Amino acid sequence: MTDDKLRYIDRAIQAYYEQNLVSERLTEAILYSVNAGGKRIRPMLLLAVLEAFGHELTMSHYQVAAALEMIHTGSLIHDDLPAMDNDDYRRGRLTNHKQFDEATAILAGDSLFLDPFGLIAQSNLSADIKINLILELANASGSSGMVGGQMLDIEGESAQLSPTALNQIHANKTGQLLTFPFVAAGILAKQSQAVLASLRQAGQLVGMAFQVRDDILDLTASFEELGKTPQKDLAADKATYPSLLGLEQSKTMLDQLLNQAQAIFQTLEEAHSFDQTKVVAFIERLRLNG
């Protein structure tokens, strides 16, 4: 079933780029990164939460999930550029600007930031739901979310950051796009504002946990495990959770964040028609022994 969902997500992206082809090279560069073997964590979370509310998945749901993956992939292309993290490898193979060239990679990233809104607009959803999803995704992705967090991260590279400042960076840079799938699923399931607020809180906790885990793995995992160059943050003397809190405290923080998120899902299950089983199973994989 998981493989089927991945295929439907990929098919939604592929179908979008089969329309109105303008530049074959640009499309090739876009799909090079889209098809690089990512785990599709964000879209799969969206679908799992939607199913938890008892909804049967439709192509429109897969299009929204695909739009989220497109934004995420675009951010990776830009993150890897020489002016940003300057990485040669992503997901175990050459980064986009190394496989093609820097200008093409920039345009591929630009496309993956803009095209998702067209994909959502094409979906067979009500106008109100489309508008809410587009607004939510724009806020999560742009200057009030991921991009704003990336700017804070750049500004903090030469500073001695406090844990509070580091939290602010990653609540936006990483956390917003991991919060979106929870809130978007609630919007698609037509849940109340109170439920949406709980889903947003759970997403924020999962987003922070994801970054703590990423920082730990950057320090402890190999290239083969990560699919990218390890210990780059250490080499750059960049503030991370292990560098500020220590490795063991970071591991404790990771578990605490995931436990808090699971408590929210438990409450939703008790108070609403929400089957937390698949969502919790997904969250459990974020633990270091998951």
The answer to whether residue 130 is domain-embedded is yes
The answer to whether residue 225 is domain-embedded is yes
CA dist 137 and 179 (Å) reads: 10
The answer to whether residue 164 is domain-embedded is yes
CATH of the domain at 196: 1.10.600.10
- For residue 166, count CB atoms less than 10 angstroms from its CB and return exposed for 0-12, middle for 13-18, buried for 19 or more: buried
For position 224, what pLDDT does the model report? 61
For position 212, what pLDDT does the model report? 95
Total domains in the chain come to: 1
The answer to whether residue 289 is domain-embedded is no
CA dist 73 and 68 (Å) reads: 9
Are 121 and 79 spatial neighbours (Cβ–Cβ below 8 Å)?
no
Q: Which long-range contacts (CB under 8 A, 24 or more apart) does 232-238 make?
A: 232/85, 232/87, 236/157, 238/157
Overall residue count recorded for the chain in this entry: 290
pTM for this prediction: 0.93
The answer to whether residue 119 is domain-embedded is yes
For position 273, what pLDDT does the model report? 85
For position 223, what pLDDT does the model report? 61
The answer to whether residue 206 is domain-embedded is yes
Which domain covers residue 106, as residue numbers? Answer: 2-284
The answer to whether residue 290 is domain-embedded is no
Nearest residue to 128 (alpha-carbon basis) of 70, 188, 71: 188
For position 1, what pLDDT does the model report? 67
Assigned token pair, 107:
């345009």
CA dist 253 and 249 (Å) reads: 6
For position 230, what pLDDT does the model report? 59
**What does pLDDT average to in each consecutive run of 10 residues of the chain (290 residues)?**
89 93 94 91 96 96 98 96 91 92 97 98 98 98 96 86 92 96 98 97 97 90 60 65 92 96 95 91 86
